[in-house]
Amino acid sequence: MINRLLDFLNASPVNFLAARNLAAELERHGYRRINPCEPIGKIAVGDKLYATKNDSSVYAFEIGQKPMAESGFHIICAHCDSPTFRIKPNPEITCEGGIVKLNTEVYGGPIMSTWFDRPLTIAGRVIVRGEDPFSPETRLLHVKRPLLQISNLAIHFNREVNDGVKLSKQKDMLPILGIINGELEKGNMLINIIIEELSKEKEVKKEDILDFDLYLADASPACTFGAHDEFISSGRLDDLSMCYAGLEALLHSETSDTTKVLAIFDNEETGSQTKQGAASPFLASLLQRIATAQSGTTEAFHQAVERAFMVSADNAHAWHPNYSEKYDPTNHPVLGGGPVVKFNAAQKYASDAVSAAVFAEICKKAGVPCQRFVNHSDVAGGSTLGNILASSLPLRGVDMGNAILAMHSCRETGSVNDHTFCVKAFTQFYNA
């Protein structure tokens, strides 16, 4: 099971590739892609459907044995974006000696220092001219070799580096791409790489490349480590590990009375306020259309929402043995201790006593441990999908996740056992 997760992480350096890989797995297991531009059509018991938005979010549905108005929805939601650096338009900056660096901007909230002195690559999507100007072709890109590096300044020029240094997003975080080799390469180094990579699949010309959404990614593969290989080391555990746990549970759960839903959103790291984010009405629209197609009335959708339960799956903070003072004294989950229910008095999380009790019972029936997380009262925390989604869909639900260390680092640390526990809990949730 853990090797499948590692393979997924390695194949999904950015949101677009994660969404493609999730969709490919759904199709391999009999899910039919629906086009939101077209009528949903008739819905039958056992139908397996999925849709995408913006090439970066995925929504899968398995129609339950009972009408949705009677049994509701069982929804697992997660997000496929992670903090990184976006490559700006016109990105090449030529420096002394012909060295080329790329102009970037921060996406989300990365721990910037962790991106220094490690092999990086680029991945994302490239927009290519098509026959219809309103429907250009989208080509996904993943350069599968070390391509760039953000290098530190030597300690000899920065004697205070180990005392803490304030980093400039514009000055310090620009990666080195290469050294110009000939006049024709000046200003064209990145585009030449893009053309070379895309042409491996299908030839593309420079004049047909209209734009791109490209990001930096760690080029080192995900792996396990520890005395017993009990830990996972990888970029993007937050939140691809939850996406994949949800997918595994959906694909391997039993036939259920309740309609199962897996919603993988984009842009959680920047607030979810996009057409493919959790604040979008897109999921609600799909649910309403599917419920209406089954019943012939929108009343069924509203009944189904009232009977629904949502698991908002986003990683939690594991207790760090070097910084115990940062954690709540009685609610600090540990690596390997099982899924974590998250609480917040300011309603940054959707969990309450009722939904937490429901999820704890699901874990108990699945035979896995369950932990709880509350912020240290003097340490501000973040928010996640659950409360954002519940503000537009009045869903009963819980915010949870697996505990990890170094959240938002270029490489985060998780637990092998926790991944297994989470898949079991999610499978039990879909089976219930």
User: In Å, how far are 36, 43, 44, 47, 266 from 294, measured between CA atoms?
Assistant: 16, 5, 7, 11, 28
pTM: 0.95
**In contact, 368 and 424? CB cutoff 8 Å:** yes
Between CA 411 and CA 409 the distance in angstroms is 5
For position 30, what pLDDT does the model report?
Answer: 97
Q: Which of 150, 149, 139 has the alpha carbon at shortest distance from 194?
A: 139
* Secondary structure of residue 371 in the 3-state scheme: strand
Q: For every one of its 432 residues, what pLDDT tens digit does the chain have, with 9 covering 90 and above?
A: 899 999 999 999 999 999 999 999 999 999 999 999 999 988 999 999 999 999 999 999 999 999 999 999 999 999 999 999 999 999 999 999 999 999 999 999 999 999 999 999 999 999 999 888 888 999 999 999 999 999 999 999 999 999 988 999 999 999 999 999 877 778 789 999 999 999 998 888 899 999 999 999 999 999 999 999 999 999 999 999 999 999 999 999 999 999 999 999 999 999 999 999 999 999 999 999 999 999 988 999 999 999 999 999 999 999 999 999 999 999 999 999 999 999 988 888 889 999 999 999 999 999 999 999 999 998 877 778 888 888 888 999 999 999 999 999 999 999 999 999 999 999 999 998
For position 27, what pLDDT does the model report?
Answer: 98
User: In Å, how far are 29, 75, 113, 160, 229 from 164, measured between CA atoms?
Assistant: 50, 43, 10, 7, 32
Please count the helices (runs of H) and the strands (runs of E) in the chain.
10, 20
**In contact, 79 and 278? CB cutoff 8 Å:** yes
For position 306, what pLDDT does the model report?
Answer: 95
